[in-house]
Amino acid sequence: MPGAIYAEGLVKAFGDVRALDGVDLDVPEGTVLGLLGPNGAGKTTAVRCLTTLLRPDSGKAVVAGIDVLKHPNEVRRSIGLSGQFAAVDEYLTGRENLQMVGQLYQMRAKAAKARAVELLEQFHLSDAADRPAKTYSGGMRRRLDLAAALVVSPPVMFMDEPTTGLDPRNRQQLWEVIKQLVSGGTTLLLTTQYLEEADHLAHDIAVVDRGHVIARGTSDQLKARTGGERVEVVVHEREHMATAAEVLAGFGKGSTTLEQHTRKLTVPVTGGAKLLAEVIRELDIRGIEIDDIGLRRPTLDDVFLSLTGHAAETEAGEDDLEADTGHQSEKEAAK
């Protein structure tokens, strides 16, 4: 049985550019898929196709058991959308915004009103409930936006770069909210440029680049593909490098790499902290003075680099497919 979000061979081209070039996704009910990739990778286009905002050129999409292309309006009843391109009306108060969205989800006015009060409470916006959203901070706006997506407690949620442009504290807060949500059984597809975010929130990760899913798996599986942990040593004297390399070779599970100019040696290992202690002892015995030593686990940045051959580019102003289709503004608004 396909998952709560299922896509097969999604293709969407804008002119010559194939924003999606045959994307397959399968998100089991109650899990979180992180769609990870740089700007222009096709993440937003994928979300737009799955949330009925954009009709793919070909392919199949099923959300909450409903065919997205055949019954878009049915799908809309079962999804919530938040993030980069969903928005709130800045001249309406938080309460008015939520009430409006509730009514447009076809709730009765009274029910929408009551639900708005609940959500404002849940998202710590009660004090600001009757102020226009214009006066909200970036973090408050995101919370209101997320609340708007949750008005009918949809079984399937989409969040497009939910924390882009937020400061670390607000990001942490939003992560907590998202975790709570998922623990309640909601299926979530989340796009992000932050590797840390996918690592933190997602059960499964699909790495997207240039319209293709180039890798998928759990965070640990992806990390395993780039190799396990490594010991990194920076020696004080360049002439000690050869001796240090000898020591490391005794512990390592592979060849040692030497960077002459930084006096850094790296070797893949297994054995964690205990092994690290042994390495330090041995280096000490040999009389090698060290500036720095550490056990390093691969980050998703490393994963991305090893998969695509280029680093995940996250600077704004990047040549960007989504921006070309008129969504630059939303990104600006999100900042």
Residue 58 sits in the site that holds another protein (CB under 8 A): no
3-state secondary structure of 101: helix
Distance, CA of 57 to chain centre? 26
With CB under 8 A as the rule, give the number of residues binding another protein.
Answer: 48
> HSE-up of 41 (CA within 13 Å, CB side)?
27
Cα separation of 220 and 229, whole Å? Answer: 12
Among 46, 125, 140, 148, binds another protein (CB under 8 A): 148
Residue 52 sits in the site that holds another protein (CB under 8 A): yes
Residue 18 sits in the site that holds another protein (CB under 8 A): no
CB 312, min distance to another protein, A: 24
Print the binding letters for residues 237-276 with another protein: x by CB under 8 A, - otherwise. Answer: ----------------------------------------
DSSP assignment letter at 239: G
Among 24, 67, 77, 305, binds another protein (CB under 8 A): 77
Residue 198 sits in the site that holds another protein (CB under 8 A): no
Please measure the distance between the N-terminal and C-terminal CA atoms of the chain and give it in whole angstroms.
Answer: 40
Among 30, 132, 228, 268, binds another protein (CB under 8 A): 132
Nearer to another protein, 24 or 74 (CB): 74
Cα separation of 320 and 102, whole Å? Answer: 33
Cα separation of 142 and 334, whole Å? Answer: 8
Residue 66 sits in the site that holds another protein (CB under 8 A): yes
Residue with tokens 């989340």: 190
- Nearest Cα neighbor of 21 from 152, 150, 159, 211 is 211
Residue 64 sits in the site that holds another protein (CB under 8 A): yes
Residue 111 sits in the site that holds another protein (CB under 8 A): yes
Residue 166 sits in the site that holds another protein (CB under 8 A): no
Cα separation of 23 and 210, whole Å? Answer: 11
SS (H, E, C) 266-277: EEECCCHHHHHH
Q: How many other C-beta atoms are found inside a 10 Å radius of the C-beta of residue 167?
A: 12
CB 91, min distance to another protein, A: 4
Residue 153 sits in the site that holds another protein (CB under 8 A): yes
Residue 95 sits in the site that holds another protein (CB under 8 A): no
CA-CA-CA-CA torsion for 308, 313, 318, 322, nearest 10 degrees?
A: 60
Among 91, 135, 179, 296, binds another protein (CB under 8 A): 91
Residue 100 sits in the site that holds another protein (CB under 8 A): yes
Q: Which two tokens stand for residue 241?
A: 């490098």
Residue 86 sits in the site that holds another protein (CB under 8 A): yes
Return the biggest CA–CA distance within the chain.
78
Nearer to another protein, 53 or 234 (CB): 53
180 CB-near residues (< 8 Å, 6+ apart): none
Among 107, 147, 159, 323, binds another protein (CB under 8 A): 107
Residue 54 sits in the site that holds another protein (CB under 8 A): yes
Stretch that binds another protein, among 58-66, 214-222, 250-258, 308-316 (CB under 8 A): 58-66
Bridge partners (DSSP) listed for residue 265? 233, 258
Q: Hey, what amino acid is at 310?
A: H
Among 11, 60, 105, 299, binds another protein (CB under 8 A): 105
Asked if residues 58 and 11 have their Cβ atoms less than 8 Å apart, the reply is yes
Instruction: List interacting residues with another protein (CB under 8 A).
Output: 48, 51-55, 64-66, 73-74, 76-79, 81, 84-92, 96, 100-101, 103-108, 111, 115, 132, 148, 152-155, 325-327, 329-330, 333
